[in-house]
Structure 1
Amino acid sequence: MAKKEVDGEGLNIPNCIKARPVRRTGPIVAAVIVALLAAMLIQGLVTNERLDWPTVWKYLFNENVLNGVGKTLELTVISMVVAIILSVILAIMRKSINPVLRGVSWFFIWFFRGTPVYTQLVFWGLFSVLIPKISLGIPFTDVAFWSIDSSVVVTAFNAAWIGLALNEAAYLSEIVRAGLEAVDTGQTEAAEALGMNRTLIMRRIILPQAMRIIIPPTGNETIGMLKSTSLVLAVPYTLDLQFATNAIANRLYKPIPLLLVACIWYLFITSVMMILQAQLEKHFGKGFNARPAGAKGKQPPYDPPYPGKSDGEQKDNVNKLNEATFTGLNA
């Protein structure tokens, strides 16, 4: 008589095969090699006296360094907020039926993507030289109702975040446009059939669904913006983290330890940003992510019976994933 085994659902299956897992020596060998290389790297960093770790710990929480961290974060946040707002406007203009709006958006993106951010920052630093006064009056005449010295408005800090924001907006606008175009056109048609106007459709239907695609590259751009703040010396703006550590290094004639101080702070801030990005992706990915369809760890009867199973499919396949579809998302 054939030997009978009991499967996950309590069914008697004759001659049930117990398969052994396939041995994968390649990944094990690769993991050992990578672990050895990582250990060698860490040992070299710890024991290398030229890195001067005592100086690193001494200046890691220096007052000027902490002030530079604060100014760097301030530049990053302001620049990204302005860039995100501008990028959404530019992306919508690119999709407009008005050729003038499309042309202006295309020219903005072409210009700011085509020139280096360092060069743009230099021009913003020279703004008060190029345009001594900012005035409001009748166009194409000398009649002015109001004017102010541009050096009062476009300070070094303002020039820094304006230059960074405008450059970043050009890149983010293409990311936003890709996200908007990824949403099925049937969503717009259905919303129009319900009597929703274009603004409401964009705000309540298109953007919430596009955020799933927009968030990951936007997170990368935010991290890139954090590091781009080290270029604001071109304005010149001299209160950011990179300049603060360079100033201390020049005074001590020890550039390497202070570079490590800057690296540690940049890595710490980047790690926090990555955690926030992961949480945003999780929030805007609701309804899209696949989830286990089986009832692992449960015994029959199931309620509902065999969730996610199709006709003729093995009922104890607990590791199968649902073919997830979008089930709705509120902004």
Structure 2
Amino acid sequence: MRLKLVPDETTWDFFRHARLTFGASVVAVIVSVFLFLSMGLNFGIDFRGGTTIRTDAEQAVDVGAYRDAIAPLGLGDVSITQVFDPARPDLNVTQIRIEAQEGVESVSETTVAAVRDALQAVDPSLTFQEVSSVGPKVSGELIKAAVYAVLAAMGAVLVYIWLRFEWQFSVGAVAALVHDVLITIGVFSLLQIKFDLAIIAALLTIVGYSLNDTVVVFDRLRENLRKYKKMELREVMNLSVNETLSRTVMTSFTTLLALLALYFLGGDVIRGFVFAMIMGVVIGTYSSVFVAKNIVLFLGVKRDWSKTDASKGNQYANIDA
């Protein structure tokens, strides 16, 4: 007996409350932009600058013990990561990043010495192999590069959907992606969760995930537009969403199961990244149905397709969930 998250056949009207759902999305985006402009983001070391320390030790790395040893020094945001050095596989290598202290671009030698003493109290064999600093100028360049990366991803999506479908579809897809990214940033601004390069990676992943879900429904919509040439556009859209609903719910549900396990059991290092992914899955699933489709419905699409489609549809659209 198989578990089904949704019935085999559904006839739900996803556009019954279109004004309410789309209006809520518009309000959420506006609030997110306001939160970003008024509260800003809690940038991590990657974007604020700081000092990176690379250590070697003979004993196994205990990240928790390292963090507890450094905490009394009051250095603010400290990131500790164990890394593998292929050139020296016999040693346990750690990368420690300390945020820039107020009024200075890098951590002073006195502070570095205090960190060394604290860590050597945990592991006497530990040594500092490299100490380097990242100033505000480099951090500012990283912020620009991150913004360009997200914009480039959205631009590529716009062109791809335009060529693959029609320009109305591309506008709807990109609007949904902007919706997902802005609301995620707004939540990070509201909760003041640390925002670093890992979160940028999460945002780019969200763009890909949301696009995948949107394209699946768009593909079924295009097939149904050819099949039901006299049916109203709204009804064809409802039919397409209902036909792919099982696949959408199953994919989102199983992805959330894995992300929730990582969030609660993965530790503090990846919690921000996983939280952004959870937000992206939930908001992306919502936007693919209630944002992208509303925009396409508003813009309308041509019904006189130049060629017929011999395919029978997406073979994964109606998988039982």
What's the TM-score once normalised by structure 1's chain length?
0.22
Rg comparison, structure with higher value: 1
TM-score, normalised by the number of residues in structure 2 = 0.23
